[in-house]
Structure 1
Amino acid sequence: MARILGLTDAERDLVTMAVTDAEKTTDGEIVTVVARRSDSYADAALHWAVLAMLAVAAVAAAFPVLLETLAYPTGDNWGTAPSLARLIFALLIAMIVAFLAVRYALEYRPLRLALTPHATRVRRVRRRALEVFHLGTEARTKGRVGVLLYLSLDERRAEIVADEAIHAQVADEEWGKAMATLLEHVRAGKPGEGMAAAVAAIGVVLARHLPKTTDDSNELPDRVIEL
């Protein structure tokens, strides 16, 4: 079966059914979103490239003989010291080469992501989840009972963001089981099963705090949204 953003057709159906089943026991509305990644992390690549450039300058300062070798790579200086202008030119060329080499090496996304600090990835996933929540879930239900389950595949991070009525009743710690279940499946290469299991756990929490009432209607889509 063809995969789109890490989910197969069967996995998308599995998540959709999980949402439908979970909402049978609660007035809460569950929205599921899967993204390939939450950021390009282009700034991380730039930071590493600048660091490489500065490292070249530091090495040149610590070992001047290397800079002299760069100034006269063919050894044709006949024992004379290179001019300051030639040394500066050689240093600039070496720094530019280092910058470009690292910058283009980090065009390879898995490497760029691996070299991005963990804390940065956590913040970017959280920020993206909040953006998606504000655009598609927040205040979109009559009772403000929407909850977003957001999964970012490349970072292997997930976020649960709740609307006003849910946030007022459910402590953040209560989502722990859903998050742990989801991430365990994602690490095992089963994001669809993880999403479905997490939705079921979210449904249990919502049913406890916002049980189903007779006049409840389905206000948000059950299908998984892929970005």
Structure 2
Amino acid sequence: MALRKVSHVSEADHRIVTDAVAAAERDTDGEIVTIIAAQSDSYDDVALVWASLCAFLAMSIVALFPECFRALYDALRGGWGHQPTANEWLGIVLAFGAIKWIGVWLFLLWRPLRLFLTPRAIRAGRVRARAIDLFKVGTEAKTMGRTGVLLYVSLNEHRADIVADEAIAAKVAPEIWGDAMAALIERIRAGHPGEGMAEAVRQMGLVLAEHFPKSEGNPNELCDRLIEI
């Protein structure tokens, strides 16, 4: 049975973005690569931290209020059990912490909750790191003039990033891409990711045309089409 390809955007969005890249590159030696992803990281380590923190807090509460939990333990045994020794009580507390850890971990297998509990700064850092990794693989030093630039969108994190090759980074400060990012975010929030990426590409093309105008015989060295991962 053939596997169905998962698509983050429509075919129409693909055409809009691909056409925008081709149009932007007509006036510049710059090469724009566009990538869209559902999510940039699994955040397994975040789930691990939350599970460990909850388990620690649960055991700390038992340690702070031992008599309450001893009474509960005795009630669960019907009042007929012997009083646990110190070592037995330690084992009970550790088992309680382990159960708490497993419960939270299983709860956080639901990825939307895991993502929601991930601090914004961590999400931004992971998106940036993923963008840089993809840039190094598919864009960096792939053009003669080191004029490649990557537009990366990570949908679940609601984040995007632009990473430029050496020649572009030397002339264009990161904040110059602000108009492109603003146009992108505005349209994605409105539910139009293809239009957002296309407008961002158009804005990026204007910047590139100013600093790297089209030269005679410059080839199209990188793929124009929108890439989904």
Amino acid at match of 2:218: D
Judged with a 3 Å threshold, the aligned counterparts in structure 2 of structure 1 residues 3 and 69 are, in CA distance, closer, same or farther, namely farther
Deviation, 1:56, is 0.8
Counterpart residue number, 2:92: 90
Counterpart pick for 1:223 among 207, 210, 225: 225
1:53 match = 55
Q: How far off is 1:69 after superposition?
A: 3.8
Give the aligned partner of residue 212 of structure 1: 214
Give me the whole-angstrom Cα distance separating, in 2, the residues matched to 1:137 and 1:10: 25
| Residue 191 of structure 1, CA deviation | 1.4
User: 2:191 corresponds to which residue?
Assistant: 189
Q: Offset of 1:92 from its aligned partner?
A: 1.8
- Note the C-alpha offset of 1:3: 9.0
Scaled by the length of structure 2, the TM-score of the pair is: 0.93
RMSD: 1.8
SS at match of 2:169: helix
Residue pairs, 1:72-87, within 5 angstroms: 72-77=74-79, 81-87=83-89
Structure 1 moving runs of 4+ over 6 Å: none
Contact 1:70 1:90 in 2 (8 A): no
In structure 2, C-alpha distance between the alignment counterparts of 1:175 and 1:167, rounded to whole Å: 11
Higher mean displacement: 166-175 or 64-73: 64-73
Q: 1:132 aligns with which of 131, 134, 150?
A: 134
Residue in 2 that maps onto 1:174:
176
Amino acid at match of 2:171: Q
- 1:92 and 1:67 mapped to 2: Cα distance? 13
Deviation at 1:217, TM superposition (A): 1.3
> Deviation at 1:65?
2.5
Cα deviation digits, residues 89-112 of structure 1 (max 9, x gap): 321221111101110111111100
Q: Secondary structure at the match of 1:37?
A: coil
Identity of aligned residues (%): 49
Structure 1 length as normaliser, TM-score? 0.94
Find the aligned partners of 1:122 and 1:180 in 2 and give their Cα distance: 16
What runs of 5+ residues in structure 1 fail to find an aligned partner? Answer: none
Counterparts in 2 of 1:121 and 1:54: CA distance versus 1, 3 Å = same
Q: State the distance in 2 between where 1:82 and 1:212 align.
A: 81
Count, aligned residues: 226
Partner-residue secondary structure (3-state), 1:7: coil
For 1:69 and 1:140, the matched residues in 2 are separated by 69
Match of 1:145 in 2: 147
Unaligned runs of 5+ in 2: none
> Matched residue of 2:26: which SS?
helix
Match of 1:200 in 2: 202
